[in-house]
Amino acid sequence: MIEVADLRKSYGRFDAVSGVSFTVGKGEILGFLGPNGAGKTTTMRILTGYMPATSGKASVAGFDVFASPLEAKKNVGYLPETPPVYPDLDVASYLDFCARIKGVPSADRKAKIDRAIEKARLGDVRHKLIGRLSKGFRQRVGIAQAILADPPVLILDEPTAGLDPQQIIETRDLIKSLGGDHTIILSTHILPEVSMTCNRVVIISKGKVVAEDTPENLTSRLSSKGAVRLEVRADTRDAFDALRDVEGIVTVNPRGSTSHSTVLELMAEEGVDIRAAAARAIVGANIDLLSLSQVSLSLEDVFLELTTKDSVAVSEVAPAKPAIFTPIATIEPPTPPAEEPPVVSSPESKESN
Amino acid sequence: MSTFTNIGAIVRKEWQHYFGSPIAYVALFTWNLLFSVFFLFALTYFIEASMNPGGGPGGPPKPNINEWIFRPTLMNMAVVALFVTPMLTMRLFAEEQRQGTWELLATSAITDWQIVLGKFFGAVSVYAFMIATSLLNFAVVFVYADPKPEWKPVLTGALALLLMGSCFIALGGFLSTLTKNQIVAGILSFCLFLAIWTLSWLDNPMASGPVKVLAYLGVTTHMDDMVKGVLDTKDIVFYLSFIGFGLFLTQQSVESRRWRE
């Protein structure tokens, strides 16, 4: 339904998108993940025909977005990052305008508007000026506009941004209910959102696709690398000593301390549960264990994991024992720089002064 | 077919913006107020002039209503159009850009030309409505004057005013594509219109070649004959090409923005 091949978009020397390729099958919901500035919005804008790409191919519902933009646009409903609404129109007349420029035949217009209003739950605000609506409602008006013409493809740029939790749940349900009939691409920062709504995930960073997988595979890959957070009543050095011999710990990172306690984050080897062993080691060293919890990796960690190749290499290569204590160097006062022979100023330079 | 539906949809939406905000009312009020003031002045002069003895052989000709009332009023309104038309054009594209609604237009099944034409006709139709309402002032003369004035010069004069204002609207629309700030677009338009209007001051029979060309571009120069009731093809062609050029610039600017974004 959607095919993107080696898409590039350059601004002068800067590549916003450099060689993105993916396909989305009919009825699939694809999650588009990435940090700000990764090229998500640019890719979506190219797919919707808002701007041309520098090179590469993109087609939607069989229509090339560069060669036949109008046909492609007819098959796409698009919700931009900021809902494209006119504050001085009321909801009904705004949707009426959208229906006209999206080529909805006049006979179907009323039915389609009613359907969009019902699906986006806008019935109560139908005759209110959009400028008077809250952010959440405006977002829903934007969604109503996207699904209005009932296009086979929906492209939603952060559909849940700025909504309250209740609205987020409703919006996710709406998106899920639209899957199947529609092919959907949605972008987001929120990892759980992807696992709740999407069949497949494309992670994009610095204009490149860095991972493409199902949410299940992605999260299982991450949770096996999950960190454990410990709070102990001891200073950092003692805690490190206690954890030195525990099997399976890759790194120990101090995460701050107060006069009473120290917080540490332990990274385990892949697939090893270190919680019990770590707890025993701490207690065995006669240190008070105040709390222990599994830290699920945040999206930032996913990106660190997937985008900075060095960190992966280090955790795979680094030998277990010395690696544990590498972070402490950041706490200890830096070792004085190696003695350098004092610079003997030459007589010439003295004279010049 | 869908071309007309699309243009019509934009025109309709522009009307909703104009009349959903104070802009249309302020423009209508200013226009009609100044029209009535100019009309009243012209009427007073005319009445004073007709009281004077004259019209006999050798004396000045009897004042003519068309010449004394309609013509000066319409020519004065050309100046009013200088600052009323920027009110109509400044937000056309700038506001879409600022609100992010340009993204809706640019990703819907509608071409740049349809958007540009829709917005142009939206503004022109409001302007035409303003002219139509103000012409009601003249009705009083047609009702009470004896002998009746000629109505054809009034129509060609109104057409001249419409065409001249449409030139400003086409150009103002272009300036509105250059910025996200409608105030900037409005001020730029007003300054440019003023400059174009002053070009008509250069128009005199003694003018040399280049000065003549500049004077030719002054849009009000081409109103003179039409306001007198003479419909000349060369004036119509001038106005239509000026409008076409303005719309072309607008479309080019809108299209180039896609590549710059």
Q: Report pLDDT digits (tens) over B194-242.
A: 999 888 887 777 777 788 778 888 888 888 888 888 888 989 999 999 9
Select from A49, A63, A72, A54 the least CA-distant residue to A13.
A54
Question: Which of A49, A50, A88 is facing B21, going by the closest CB pair?
Answer: A88
The per-residue pLDDT for A275 is 83
Is residue A239 within 8 A of residue A328, CB to CB? The reply is: no
Cβ distance of A84 and B20 shorter than 8 Å:
no
Tell me the mean pLDDT in the region B150-164: 92
The per-residue pLDDT for A98 is 95
The per-residue pLDDT for A193 is 78
Question: Which of B10, B100, B109 is facing A102, going by the closest CB pair?
Answer: B109
Cβ distance of A51 and B110 shorter than 8 Å:
no
B111: closest CA of chain A, how far (Å) = 8
Is residue A201 within 8 A of residue A214, CB to CB? The reply is: yes
A42: closest CA of chain B, how far (Å) = 10
A322 pLDDT higher than 80: no
Residue A239 has a CB neighbour count (10 Å cut-off) of: 26
Q: Report pLDDT digits (tens) over B175-196.
A: 999 999 999 999 999 999 999 9
Cβ distance of B107 and A78 shorter than 8 Å:
yes
B148: closest CA of chain A, how far (Å) = 46
What's the complex ipTM? Answer: 0.88
A334 pLDDT higher than 50: no
Is residue A173 within 8 A of residue A29, CB to CB? The reply is: no
Q: Which of A149-153, A290-294, A319-323, B147-151 has the lowest mean pLDDT?
A: A319-323
Separation between Cα atoms, residue B134 and residue B123, nearest integer Å: 17
**Interface residue ranges in chain A relative to chain B, Cβ cutoff 8 Å:** 45, 48-52, 70, 73-74, 76, 78, 80-89, 93, 97-98, 100-103, 145
Separation between Cα atoms, residue B68 and residue A152, nearest integer Å: 65
The per-residue pLDDT for A306 is 67
- Residue spans per domain, chain B: 2-260
Cβ distance of A86 and B258 shorter than 8 Å:
no
Question: Which of B21, B100, B258 is facing A80, going by the closest CB pair?
Answer: B100
DSSP per position, A314-327 = HHHHS-HHHHHTGG
Is residue B94 within 8 A of residue B257, CB to CB? The reply is: no
Domains and CATH numbers, chain A: 2-218 (3.40.50.300), 224-330 (3.30.70.1710)
The per-residue pLDDT for A209 is 87
DSSP per position, chain B = -HHHHHHHHHHHHHHHHHHHSHHHHHHHHHHHHHHHHHHHHHHHHHHHHHHSS--STTSPPPP-HIIIIIHHHHHHHHHHHHHHHHHHHTHHHHHHHHHTTHHHHHTSS--HHHHHHHHHHHHHHHHHHHHHHHHHHHHHHHHH-SSPPPSHHHHHHHHHHHHHHHHHHHHHHHHHHT-S-HHHHHHHHHHHHHHHHHHGGG--TT--HHHHHHHHH-GGGGHHHHHTT---HHHHHHHHHHHHHHHHHHHHHHHHHHHH-
Cβ distance of B21 and A97 shorter than 8 Å:
no
Is residue B74 within 8 A of residue B227, CB to CB? The reply is: yes
Question: Which of A51, A86, A102 is facing B99, going by the closest CB pair?
Answer: A86
The per-residue pLDDT for A305 is 66
Q: Report pLDDT digits (tens) over A111-142.
A: 999 999 998 889 999 999 999 998 888 999 99
Q: What are phi and psi of A349, to 5 degrees?
A: -65, -30
What is the C-alpha radius of gyration for chain B, rounded to an integer number of angstroms?
20
A208: closest CA of chain B, how far (Å) = 20
Cβ distance of A76 and B5 shorter than 8 Å:
no
B254: closest CA of chain A, how far (Å) = 12
Q: What is the pTM of this model?
A: 0.80
* Chain A with chain B: Cβ pairs closer than 8 A: 79
